Structure 1
Amino acid sequence: MTLEQLLSDYGLWAVLIGSGLEGETVVILGGLMVHHGLLALLPCIGVAALGSFIADQALFALGRRFRNHDFVRRIQARDAFASALTAFEKRPTLFVFGFRFLYGLRTVSPIAIGTTRLPFARFLTINAISALVWASIFVTLGMVFGHAIEAAFGRLKQVEDVLLVGVAVLLVGSGIVVLVRKWLTSRA
C-alpha cells in the first residue's frame, strides 16, 4: 500500500498519524488531497499540526522523564544531539520554534530539549505555535503546487521499477560493506 493510497483511504486520520511519524511528505500529500478537493484545508492543517505537536510533546516528555536512562544516553552520544543542544543554548525560544524545520534534528531535538531545564509549559506553548505554522506551510505547499507534485510523481512512477532495483542493490551493497568491516575489525 502506498502513502498516496493510505491518504486516499483514511484521509485526515492518515494525515494526523503520518505528520507525527513521518512529517513533511505526508503533510504535503495531505495538501495535494486538499488541492483535489478530497480534504478541507483547515481540518487538514489542524490534524497535521496536532499530529506533529503530539509526537514532539511525547519526545520531549521522553527526554524529560528518562534523561538518565540508557536509551536517552545512547541518543545523547549522537552528533545530532550535541548539535541540537548547542543550538538550543544559543537561542532557546527560536530553536524550540524552528527544530521541526531542520532536517536531521527533527526527532532528536525534542528529546534533547527535554533533558534541559526548559519549563514544560514554555515548550508546550512554543511547540503548539510552531506545529501550526509548520502544518500551514506544508499543507499549503501541497495544495498550491499540486500539479507540479503530480507531474513529478507521474515521472517517478515511470521509473519506479528501476529505482526499486537501484535501492535494493544499494541496500544489499551497504549491508555487505558493513559486514565486511565488522569481520575485518574482529580479525584485527
Structure 2
Amino acid sequence: MNIDHWLETIPPLLVYVTVGLVIMIESLGIPLPGEIVLVAAALLASKTHSISPLWVGVSASSGAIIGDSIGYGIGRKFGERLFAWAGRKFPKHFGPKTIAKAADIFRRRGVYAVFFGRFIALLRILAGPLSGSLHMPYPRFLAANALGGIAWAGGTTALIYYLGVVAEAWLSRFSWIGLGVAVIAGLVVGMIVKKRMSHHEDEPEPQEVSQPADR
C-alpha cells in the first residue's frame, strides 16, 4: 500500500502524529522518507476538509526541531563512534566519503549549513548528529534548526496544499468543459447526419429506362 493511500485510511490525529514521528526519526539520523510523508499529508489536506494543512505543518515543524535536537545530543556524546557504526549499517548514506564531505560543509558554513541543510535530503539527516559531533554551540544550532525546520515544513506544506487545491479545481473545471465539448460535438454530429439524410431523401429517384420492343 502506498503512503498516501495508507494516510487516507487513518484518523486525522494519527496523520499528524505519523508526520511528526517520521520526520523526527529521520532528523535523528535514520534514513526515513520524511519528505514523502509530508508531501502526501499536505496533498491529502487539499482533498479533504478533515485534515488541516496548518496542523500538518505544525507537526512536521515540531518533529524536525525535536528530532534534530535529539540527534545533536547523540552526535555530541558519541561523535566519531556513531558515524563509524552508522557507516557499517547504512553505507549508502553514512559512508566515510559522504560523512567527510558533509562535515567539511558544516565546518565552513556553520549555522547556514544547518538552515539550508533542512532542504537537502542527505544533509537533513546529518544536520543534528554532525553539528553535535563538531561541538557547534547549541543555542546557535537551535536557532538555525528551528528556523530551517519551520521554513521547510511550513513552506512545503503550503506549496503542496495550494498546488493540490488548484489542481483539484482545474480538474473539476476540465470535467465540465469536457462534458460541454462532448454535448456540442454530439449535437454537431447529429445535425450533420440529419442534414445528409434529408439531402438523400430530396434526391429524385432514378427513372427506369424502357427497353425497346423486339421486332
TM-score (norm 1): 0.69
1:25-60 residue CA offsets vs partner (Å, 9 max, x unmatched): 111111112212231122111001111222222221
Taking the aligned partners of 1:119 and 1:46, their CA distance within structure 2 comes to 26
Alignment partner of 1:24 is 2:35: yes
Structure 2 residue ranges without an equivalent (≥5): 27-32, 88-93, 169-215
Task: Determine the C-alpha separation between the residues in 2 that align with 1:29 and 1:3.
Answer: 7
1:55 aligns with 2:67: yes
1:172 corresponds in structure 2 to none
- Aligned-residue Cα RMSD (Å) equals 2.3
Percentage of pairs with the same residue: 25
> Secondary structure in 2 aligned to 1:128?
helix
**Structure 1, gaps ≥5 residues long:** 151-188
Which of 102, 109, 115 is matched with 1:91 structurally? 109
Is 1:46 equivalent to 2:58 in the alignment?
yes
The structure having more radius of gyration, on CA atoms, is: 2
Summarize deviations over 1:127-150 as a string: whole Å, max 9, x none: 111110000121122212227989
Asked whether the 8 Å contact 1:81–1:109 carries over to 2, the reply is: no
The equivalent residue for 2:17 is 13
Is the Cα contact below 8 Å between 1:101 and 1:134 reproduced in 2? yes
1:47 counterpart letter in structure 2? S
Which contiguous aligned blocks of 4+ residues in structure 1 show a shift greater than 6 angstroms? 147-150
Higher RCO, Cα 8 Å, sep 6+: 1
CA displacement 1:91-130 (0-9 Å, x = unmatched): 2121011112123222123211111121112211211111
Aligned residues: 149
